[in-house]
């Protein structure tokens, strides 16, 4: 079964958001970079997806005019099999990624990137709904604390656990980097 790694929204734009935190960044980057390296070694295509939206002005960190819609510092350099710019939460909406995956015979997606519960989860759900097998590589995703509607803090760890809970056995196989790389080998 042909697999493909999606590296979603791992971009400098996030450093310019008020919620950005460096706390979990080193651990996340170690996992993300290990996943990329494992895929490159296995000959699995690695696709870069970047997010651009909002007003096209330099003060918007998700606008191309800001100069921040580029790989996050600390992300390992890799030759992307393809790069897509998305304007929606799902990487499969309007980016051309779905067409590329189909044309290349990809059947399994390894989902990684930023933010766990937002673009990564949305892409995983969408991909599952349209027929791809999905490995959601939880430790190779990153999110940040949020404030709940009742004003209480919801930690990034709790958000990640909630995402894992709702995806597992419904939309994806939630796995570690090591498990995802092993599953690729089993499927080959």
The CATH number assigned to the domain holding 141 equals 3.40.50.850
* pLDDT above 90 coverage of the chain, percent: 97
Q: Is residue 140 a contact partner of residue 112, using CB atoms and an 8 Å limit?
A: yes
Query: Hunting for tokens 């390296």 — which residue is that?
Result: 37
**Residue 64, C-beta contacts closer than 8 angstroms, at least 6 positions apart:** 52, 56
d(CA 97, CA 123) in angstroms, rounded, equals 11
* Mean pLDDT value of segment 37-43: 97
Per residue in 93-138, pLDDT (tens digit) is: 999 999 999 999 999 999 999 999 999 999 999 999 999 999 999 9
* Mean pLDDT value of segment 62-82: 97
Residue 173 has pLDDT above 70, yes or no: yes
In what side-by-side order are the strands of the sheet with 46-51? 82-86, 46-51, 3-8, 108-114, 133-142, 173-175
Query: Hunting for tokens 């779905």 — which residue is that?
Result: 98
Q: Report the interhelical angle of 177-187 vs 25-42 (nearest 10°).
A: 20
Residue 11 has pLDDT above 90, yes or no: yes
Residue 28 carries which DSSP code? H
Residue 187 has pLDDT above 90, yes or no: no
Half-sphere exposure of 54 (CA within 13 A, CB side): 14
Residue 1 has pLDDT above 90, yes or no: no
* pLDDT above 70 coverage of the chain, percent: 99
Per residue in 138-166, pLDDT (tens digit) is: 999 999 999 999 999 999 999 999 999 99
pLDDT reported for residue 188: 58
Average pLDDT score over the chain:
97
Q: How many domains does the structure of the chain reveal? A: 1
d(CA 176, CA 61) in angstroms, rounded, equals 30
- Domain span at residue 176? 3-187
**Residue 119, C-beta contacts closer than 8 angstroms, at least 6 positions apart:** 8, 9, 51, 86, 89, 90, 91, 113
Please say whether the dihedral angle defined by the alpha carbons of residues 177, 179, 183 and 185, taken in this order, is positive or negative: positive
């Amino acid at each position: 079964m042909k697999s493909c790694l999606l590296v979603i929204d791992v971009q400098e734009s996030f450093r310019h958001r008020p919620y950005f935190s460096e706390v979990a960044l080193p651990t996340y980057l170690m996992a993300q970079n290990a996943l990329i390296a494992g895929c490159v070694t296995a000959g699995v295509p690695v696709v870069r997806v970047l997010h651009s939206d909002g007003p096209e002005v330099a003060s918007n960190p998700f606008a191309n005019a800001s100069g921040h819609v580029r790989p996050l510092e600390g992300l390992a350099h890799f030759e992307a099999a393809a790069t897509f710019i998305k304007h929606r939460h799902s990487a499969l909406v309007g980016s051309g990624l779905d067409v590329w995956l189909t044309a290349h015979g990809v059947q399994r997606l390894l989902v990684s990137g930023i933010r766990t519960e937002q673009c990564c989860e949305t892409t995983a759900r969408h991909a599952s709904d349209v027929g791809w097998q999905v490995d959601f590589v939880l430790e190779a995703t990153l999110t940040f604390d949020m404030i709940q509607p009742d004003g209480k803090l919801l930690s990034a760890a709790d958000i990640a656990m909630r995402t894992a809970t709702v995806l597992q056995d419904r939309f994806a196989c939630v796995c570690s980097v090591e498990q995802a790389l092993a599953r690729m080998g089993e499927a080959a």
